[in-house]
């Protein structure tokens, strides 16, 4: 498993933790193409905040590095890192290998 795969798996775990608290009819399967902060996404902004906090903590524990996914740099990206599971995983990967 590559580091990028591991990061995506951590993120999916964080998302699953959040959505398991939803009513059963609102739960959904999560994969790399799952939309986050995008039109048609299944996650609202409060849920996304919770996921990001959990994801930053998981990254910190796993890779022993402090990561801020909501920095000014993240907000200024041409393509939002919060668009999908894949884009957020890729953004976190870039921060970790930098």
Q: Has residue 90 been placed in a domain?
A: yes
The pLDDT of residue 3 is above 90: yes
Two tokens at 38? 């995008």
Where in the sequence is the domain holding 15, given as residue range(s)? 3-22+32-97
Q: Has residue 27 been placed in a domain?
A: no
Tally of domains within the chain: 1
pLDDT band, very low/low/confident/very high, at 5 (cuts 50, 70, 90)? very high
DSSP readout, 2-65?
A: -HHHHHHHHHHHHHHHHHTTS-GGG-----TT-BSSSTT-S--HHHHHHHHHHHHHHHHHHHS-
Residue 37 CB contacts under 8 Å (≥ 6 apart), including other chains: 43, 45, 48, 80, 82, 83
Two tokens at 51? 């996921």
Amino acid 2: pLDDT: 96
Q: Has residue 45 been placed in a domain?
A: yes
Identify the CATH number of the domain in which residue 92 sits. Answer: 1.10.1200
Tell me how far apart the alpha carbons of residues 98 and 92 are, in angstroms, rounded to a whole number. Answer: 10
pTM (2 decimals)?
0.93
51-78: average pLDDT: 92
pLDDT band, very low/low/confident/very high, at 74 (cuts 50, 70, 90)? confident
Q: Phi, psi at residue 84, to the nearest 5°? A: -150, 175
20-46: average pLDDT: 90
């Amino acid at each position: 498993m590559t580091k990028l795969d591991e990061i995506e798996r951590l993120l999916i775990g964080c998302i699953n933790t959040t959505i398991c608290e939803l009513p059963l009819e609102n739960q959904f399967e999560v994969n790399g193409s799952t939309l986050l902060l995008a039109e048609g996404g299944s996650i609202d902004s409060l849920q996304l905040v919770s996921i990001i906090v959990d994801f930053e903590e998981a990254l910190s524990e796993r890779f022993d590095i402090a990561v801020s996914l909501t920095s000014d740099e993240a907000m200024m990206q041409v393509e939002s890192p919060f668009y999908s599971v894949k884009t957020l995983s890729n953004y976190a990967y870039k921060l970790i290998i930098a």
